[in-house]
Structure formats: C-alpha cells, structure tokens
C-alpha cells in the first residue's frame, strides 16, 4: 500500500474544526450550535485517529472511543436542555437567554 | 488508495460547509450525516475499521436520531427557516468567518512547515484496541461509564421537568 502523509489527516481535521468553530460563532439557532459542537468533537477525534495510525498504536482509537462517549453524553443532556429552553422561551434564539432568571 | 482518501476528505469538507450554512435544520442534519459517513471512510482508509464502524453506528446512527427526534418535537417549519435566513446576514457572519479562516491558515502553515512524514497504512485490529482499552485504559472505561450514567440521569431529570412544565404553566419560577 502507498503511504499517506500525516499532514493530510491533520489539515483535514483542522479544516473541519475551523468549520465547526465558525458554525458556533455565526449561528443563533441553538440546534445548529449543538451540531457545530458535534463537528468539532468529530474533528478532534479524527486528529487522534490519524496520530494513532501514524505510530501503529491503538491509543488513538481508544481516545476516539472516549470522545464518542463524551459526545453521546453531551448531546443527550444538551438536547434535553434545548427542549427545556424551547418550553421556557418559545424560541430557539440563544439571545433570548441573555439574561439570568429570564 | 490516496485518491479515495482525498475524495472522501473533500466530501467531508464540502458537506460540513453545507451544514453550517443551511437554514433548514433537517437539511443541515442530512449534510451532517454525509460528513460523518465520509469521515468514517477516512478512518477506514487509514486502517481503523473498528472506529469507522463506531462512527457510523453511534454518530451517524444514534446521535443523529436524537437530533431528528428533537427537531421533530420542536416542530420547526418554514417560518423558522425564514427566520434563520434573516439571522444569517453577511454582516453577521463575515467577521467570525474571516477570523476562523486566519486561524486555520496559521494552523495549515504550521503543519505544512514540518518535514513530511508518511503513514504506511497498516490495520490496527479491533483486538488490539480492546486489549488496550481494558488494559492500560481501564480507569478511563470506568470514568466513561460514570459519565454515561450521569448523562442518563441528567437527561432524564431535564426531560421529566420539561414534561411537568405544562402543568405548572408559565409561573415564571
């Protein structure tokens, strides 16, 4: 098999992370913000797997499994909070929650 | 081999770009699934088939189903897409997008400045991953189980409160 450069994987994960960060910054809908956070977590996992493939060690994949677990827990709690948010404010705009005890 | 990797990388970038620019939440979700599947293909081509399967099953399967359920419950329709389009004005997104592009350019510059290292792709089998997971990383597995339990309890508590919100009405508390 031919070789693959490490830079390709790391730059791909960097691009995906930057896109996710842009999504967090430019969107106002809280659902889209959660999706962008998923993109960023996935990009971080990609970097781990690329590094694990570089040194032929399973550690990168183990770290990806931990990131996956964390993402699953985060998204379940986050979506429950989104439902609560929508019931309280009747909107998904994050600016609606700008004040405490709103 | 390399070509497949580059193609799936391009698909991942394009579909992620579509995710952050769509106005309809379900369309964005479908693009996100495409993005996750192409990243799973990258994993497979990098010699990590176990992680590729997990990516498809858990990310593109379970987590996206959660998102779909919530979008269906929130009942976001055409007027929410119109509102999204209004929020996505160029004045709002050009600044953050430019700053992120600068950071990305720096990252790419740093990464490409180093000497080129090649991966000679060889498969890391699920068996090795399992031995490592339940050997040196056993404490991490235990912590992950505690994290999942606390996530379960937290989601149950918040969802239960959401169900009772109707009875209490808008008391403001």
Q: How far apart are CA A92 and CA A77, in angstroms?
A: 16
> According to the model, what pLDDT value does residue B116 have?
62
- A 10 A CB-CB count for A91 gives 16
Q: Give SS3 for B164.
A: helix
A83–B71: do the CB atoms touch at under 8 Å?
no
Q: Is B79 on the interface with A (CB under 8 A)?
A: no
> According to the model, what pLDDT value does residue B163 have?
53
B152–A58: do the CB atoms touch at under 8 Å?
no
A26–B20: do the CB atoms touch at under 8 Å?
yes
Q: How far is A52 from chain B (nearest CA, A)?
A: 9
User: Hey, what are A40's tokens?
Assistant: 């960023």
Confidence of residue A2 (pLDDT cuts 50, 70, 90): low
> pLDDT digit string (tens) for A3-29?
677 888 889 999 999 999 999 999 888
Nearest to B29 by CA among B67, B72, B56: B67
> pLDDT digit string (tens) for A62-75?
999 999 999 999 99
Query: pTM higher than 0.90 for the full model?
Result: no
Mutation target among B26, B104, B131, B161 for the A interface, most CBs of A within 10 A: B104
> pLDDT digit string (tens) for B106-163?
988 888 876 667 777 778 888 988 999 999 999 999 999 999 999 999 999 988 865 5
Nearest to A16 by CA among B117, B25, B107: B107
- Measured over the CA atoms of residue A17, residue A21, residue A19 and residue A75, the dihedral's sign is positive
Instruction: Give how far Cα B151 sits from Cα of A35, A67, A71, A99, B164, Å.
Output: 18, 14, 10, 26, 20
A9–B12: do the CB atoms touch at under 8 Å?
no
Q: Which residues of A touch B161 (CB under 8 A)?
A: 84
Give the helix/strand (H/E) hosting B118: strand B118-120
Shortest CB distance from A18 goes to which of B48, B100, B144? B100
ipTM field: 0.90
User: Hey, what are A24's tokens?
Assistant: 């967090």
Q: How far is A78 from chain B (nearest CA, A)?
A: 8
> pLDDT digit string (tens) for B21-51?
888 888 899 999 999 999 999 999 988 899 9
> pLDDT digit string (tens) for B66-101?
999 888 888 766 777 777 777 778 887 888 889 999
Shortest CB distance from A58 goes to which of B114, B129, B147? B129
For the segment B17-22, the average pLDDT, to the nearest whole number, is 90
Mutation target among B30, B53, B67, B125 for the A interface, most CBs of A within 10 A: B67
């Amino acid at each position: 098999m031919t070789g693959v450069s490490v830079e390709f994987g790391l730059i791909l994960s960097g691009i995906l992370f930057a896109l996710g960060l842009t999504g967090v910054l430019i969107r106002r809908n809280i659902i889209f913000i959660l999706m962008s956070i998923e993109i960023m977590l996935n990009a971080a996992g990609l970097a781990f797997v690329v590094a694990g493939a570089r040194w032929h060690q399973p550690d990168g994949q183990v770290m990806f499994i931990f990131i996956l677990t964390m993402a699953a827990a985060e998204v379940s709690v986050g979506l429950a909070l989104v439902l609560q948010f929508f019931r309280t404010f009747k909107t998904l705009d994050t600016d609606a929650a700008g004040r405490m005890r709103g | 081999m390399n070509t497949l990797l580059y193609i799936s990388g391009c698909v991942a970038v394009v579909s992620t770009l579509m995710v952050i620019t769509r106005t309809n939440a379900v369309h964005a979700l479908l693009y996100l699934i495409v993005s996750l599947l192409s990243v799973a293909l990258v994993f497979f081509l990098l010699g990590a088939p176990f992680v590729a399967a997990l990516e498809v099953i858990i990310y593109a399967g379970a987590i996206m189903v959660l998102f779909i359920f919530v979008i269906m419950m929130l009942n976001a329709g055409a007027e929410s897409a119109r509102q999204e389009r209004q929020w996505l004005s160029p004045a709002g997104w050009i600044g953050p997008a430019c700053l992120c592009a600068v950071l990305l350019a720096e990252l790419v510059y740093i990464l490409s400045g180093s000497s080129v290292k090649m991966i000679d792709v060889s498969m890391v089998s699920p068996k090795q991953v399992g031995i490592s997971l339940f050997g040196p990383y056993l404490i991490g597995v235990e912590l992950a189980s505690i994290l999942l339990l606390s996530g379960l309890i937290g989601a149950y508590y918040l969802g239960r409160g959401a169900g009772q919100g109707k009875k209490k009405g808008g008391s403001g508390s």
